[in-house]
Amino acid sequence: MSYQAPLKDMLFVMNELAGLQQVNALPGCEDATPDTVEAILEENAKFAGEVVAPLNWAGDQAPSYWKDGEVFTTKGFKEAFQQFAQAGWQGVQHPVEFGGQGLPKLVATPCLEMLNAASISFALCPLLSDGAIEALLTAGSDVQKSIYLEKLISGQWTGTMNLTEPQAGSDLAMVRSRAVPREDGTFAVFGTKIFITYGEHDMAENIVHLVLARTPDAPEGVKGISLFLVPKFLVQADGSLGARNDVQCVSIEHKLGIKASPTAVLQFGDHGGAIGTLIGEENRGLEYMFIMMNAARFGVGMQGIGIAERAYQLAVSYARDRVQSRDLAGSIGPVTIIHHPDVKRMLMSMRAQTEAARALAYVAAAMLDHAHHHPDAAVRKQNQAAYEYLVPIVKGWSTEMSLDVTSNGVQVHGGMGFIEETGAAQHYRDARILTIYEGTTAIQANDLVGRKTVRDAGAVAKALIADLRVTSSQLRASGQTDLLAIEVQLTQAADAFEEVVTYIAANMKSDIKAVFAGSVPYLKMAGIVLGGWQMGRAALVSAEKLQQGATDAAFYQAKIATARFFAEHFVVQAAGLKTTILLGSVGTLALSEAQF
């Protein structure tokens, strides 16, 4: 159940597909040289593999527990988090002026993948802190920044996001928590928040809660929601900790997976009001919270990729060792199961989907670096739009992919996969939450349809498709058998994808339910086709490296084979998904409530 970070593939994707050299050339990214980045990744891989990964099984067997309002994390988590903080891993992508390393998102992304592959339960704590940091950087006052950012970025304190209430899940218009103004300019916060990841724990000295609530005169609906900073311990003027605030953890959830991560029910204001300060302006809380959510959504996509990689490694290890049945070609004795065609199919499916999702996510990360740092405003705008289009895909498709990969991981193990001791079942259970929290797959798909496709009449999507067609042309021009096989499937998929984008943009107003009935298939199609595009690019680079006499021929040959497998097993699905999206709403919407 060990984990070895796939550094070779990560560096290949960063350098050859995401353009690390171009990111390094951006103003403010000068420290991200190839040598420096490789050294950072090697250190992160060592920490993830040697310190965090061994805690994953322990966290599942001996989860966090609640007692008398306090939460105690799995043995070893607190010490590992202290090492994480002291090494500066929380601050990789955050500003130098607040103690961070100021490195590009492209560098932080593989670090995030490795931490999640090692243990999603552990990685959730810094992931939520990242979101809180982003929200404060964007909307926090100078006072809030000066008091909280350095402590959050150092890992001395951690952050949470408090959206959900018992009556308000994804529909945040239903939020009823109250924030009453006090004479000193602070607010007294009252209410109950549920599903708060690391809402209470023993790994840091303070927890900074970012809480959605309504002021007394706020309008109804989402337009009346404000965002408040409510610390577990009040902070004195000199930055030291004061009294315990009026926020209590009244229980934690018992879950299918990610058991070591405490999911808290928090009660604010049972003893007069939890003291909080307003972040930004009143009634703009949802806007600010979306900053956290977008950071978290990309992070959850990386969780899917990380756990898929971990499940793949475990399955390959088992398949190499497990002896079962004769070789179909007629060998005289039993062989290890990795020789059986269907086991190879499952392993290739796990490998190809993980590599495609990794490539698409890293490319998206580089886009955000260009959006933030490129000197040309038009280039910044173009990259920002492309990144925003890809975020729901990275979140939605990568997490759905992780369910398929971890399920196949169980299947490769056969009956032993159903036995907890192998570890395959834990990956399957842990992955199951990923398509749900930070917005279900349907919510990601609705975002992809409404905000990311219809709003610009499909312009960003079609620009990506145009880039994909350039790759197809290059594959066609190569004349190589494997690359031509990839090109055939990519070209057909691009046609289907473009037809679907046009359909969605044209029919949103006239038949909104029909369009949204196909939203999740559209998201899946986008992930598969755009992931296939990145795999095609990887195949092109690999073929060129082989022609140049690369020393590691086996690595590049495997990249080409994996890209072809993805094209012929997954990209081919685009045509069927097109039919589902264009015609499938009739069946989806046919039955009345009573007929179910």
pLDDT in tens, the chain (596 residues): 689 999 999 999 999 999 999 999 999 999 999 999 999 999 999 999 999 999 999 999 999 999 999 999 999 999 999 999 999 999 999 999 999 999 999 999 999 999 999 999 999 999 999 999 999 999 999 999 999 999 999 999 999 999 999 988 777 778 999 999 999 999 999 999 999 999 999 999 999 999 999 999 999 998 999 999 999 999 998 889 999 999 999 999 999 999 999 999 999 999 999 999 999 999 999 899 888 888 899 999 999 999 999 999 999 999 999 999 888 887 767 999 999 999 999 999 999 999 999 999 999 999 999 999 999 999 999 999 999 999 999 999 999 999 999 999 999 999 999 999 999 999 999 999 999 999 999 999 999 999 999 999 999 999 999 999 999 999 999 999 999 999 999 999 999 999 999 999 999 999 999 999 999 999 999 999 999 999 999 999 999 999 999 999 999 999 999 999 999 999 999 999 999 999 999 999 999 999 99
Whether the CB-CB separation of 258 and 430 falls below 8 Å is answered with yes
Half-sphere exposure of 370 (CA within 13 A, CB side): 24
Give residue limits of the domains in the chain.
Answer: 442-588
What DSSP designation does 165 have? B
CA 465 to CA 456: how far, in whole Å?
15
pLDDT given for residue 540 in this prediction: 98
CA 483 to CA 327: how far, in whole Å?
30
pLDDT given for residue 171 in this prediction: 77
Segments of 222-318 assigned E as strands: 226-231, 233-235, 241-244, 247-252, 263-268, 274-279
Name which of 113, 105, 97 is nearest 45 in CA terms.
113
DSSP string, 204-239: SSEEEEEEEEB-TTPPSSGGG-EEEEEESEEE-TTS
pLDDT given for residue 291 in this prediction: 82
| 113 included as an active-site residue | no
pLDDT given for residue 1 in this prediction: 66
* 113, 134, 355, 438: the active-site residue: 438
Name which of 128, 161, 113, 443 is nearest 303 in CA terms.
113
Backbone angles phi, psi at 115, to 5 degrees: -65, -40
